[in-house]
Amino acid sequence: MERSLSMELVRVTEAAALASARWMGRGKKDEADEAATTAMRNVFDTVPMKGTVVIGEGEMDEAPMLYIGEKLGTGYGPRVDVAVDPLEGTNIVASGTWNALAVLAVADHGNLLHAPDMYMDKLAVGRESVGKVDINAPVIDNLKAVAEAKGKNIEDLVAVILDRPRHHQIIQEIREAGARIKLISDGDVAAAINTAFDDTGVDILFGSGGAPEGVIAAVALKCLGGELQGKLLPQNDEELERCKRMGIEDVNRVLYMDDLVKGDDAIFAATGVTDGELLKGVRFDGSKGTTQSVVMRAKSGTVRFIDGTHSLKKKPDLVIKP
């Protein structure tokens, strides 16, 4: 992939963030998601690449744009697979809380797992803990491993997990071990990425969430030298059959980084929609909007934080008319 593609992709997530941020706190998650999707799709038309959506807004008959199999880009440039989540945290934007992102991931053609829309059990850690955790191990063992790797006591650790009834047992085990917990309502892509940045205060992610989001987070962690392990959790015969069509006969099989994103090159881009530990959300000030983004490339190990100022006079579609 060309080095210049990284900066082109940031424009895509910036547009999605600016469009969806207008809906923050309005209680309308579908409108926010539609705004992000439309803006993201429009800017993709200008990106010099031959892209195919492998993780998107659904199948062709479920989504009008950014559907699985849709072609993106100008048709010139590298041939790539694209995973998108135009608004990671629709409920977050609707309520105006933390860590909503516009995100995408790109890798060479054939290198991204075409994860079906089902649950995935996940375990994510930063660089220091790579190779020292095991999704099949007890919670206490993984906490001990991360504490040792980072030179901390277990009591110093912060584990992040979605606040769901299905996680009651894991939450209890974390508390019994003495670690601290950050419960989140949504947005486990941001939570997984935060494990790789010391400033966020997050050390490890546990629990299940969407499988497509797991692949997107894995691309980010590959760029950052971190690790995500996953196990698909089909809930019915139809989902079990989808796993088999993917070539996964044993659903208890652990998916490691090279299963989720192959090769040595991938790009991840994200723009904050609402404030989070890593990125600030969109700000509007009359005729301009400001964004904060991060873009990373696995091959070079480059991580860039980008502050953007955008003229809204040239973007009338970003003005909400209730």
The domains found in the chain, sorted by start residue, are: 5-109+265-318 (3.30.540.10), 119-260 (3.40.190.90)
CA distance 219 to 130: 15
Report CA torsion sign: 255, 260, 263, 265.
Answer: negative
Residue 171: closest CA among 136, 196, 193, 143: 143
Q: In which element (H, E) is residue 71 found? A: strand 71-72
Does residue 321 register a pLDDT over 70?
no
Q: Quick one: pLDDT at residue 318?
A: 57
Q: Quick one: pLDDT at residue 100?
A: 97
Range list of H helices, the chain:
5-21, 29-44, 90-95, 139-150, 168-177, 188-194, 211-224, 237-245, 257-260
Query: How far, CA to CA in Å, does 240 sit from each of 92, 154, 232?
Result: 30, 37, 9
CA distance 88 to 317: 21
Q: Quick one: pLDDT at residue 322?
A: 44
The string of DSSP letters for 179-204 reads: -EEEEESS-HHHHHHHTT-GGGT--E
pLDDT digits over 51-89, tens only? 999 999 987 778 899 999 999 999 999 999 999 999 999
CA distance 6 to 265: 12
Does residue 266 register a pLDDT over 50?
yes
Q: Quick one: pLDDT at residue 312?
A: 87
Q: Which two tokens stand for residue 82?
A: 């694209």
pLDDT bucket at 255, cuts 50 / 70 / 90: very high
pLDDT bucket at 249, cuts 50 / 70 / 90: confident
pTM: 0.95
**What share of the chain in percent tops pLDDT 90?**
86
Does residue 232 register a pLDDT over 50?
yes
Task: Please state the rounded mean pLDDT for residues 143-165.
Answer: 98
Does residue 3 register a pLDDT over 90?
no
Higher-confidence residue: 287 or 176?
A: 176
Q: Quick one: pLDDT at residue 130?
A: 98
The string of DSSP letters for 246-314 reads: TT---TTPPB-HHHHB-SS-EEEEEEESS--SSS---EEETTEEEEEEEEEETTTTEEEEEEEEEESTT
* The amino acid at 125: V
C-alpha dihedral (211, 216, 217, 223), degrees to nearest 10 = 150
Residue 5: closest CA among 65, 59, 79: 79
Q: Which two tokens stand for residue 76?
A: 């010139």
Task: Please state the rounded mean pLDDT for residues 245-254.
Answer: 83
- Which stretch of 34-38, 112-116, 147-151 has the lowest confidence by average pLDDT? 112-116
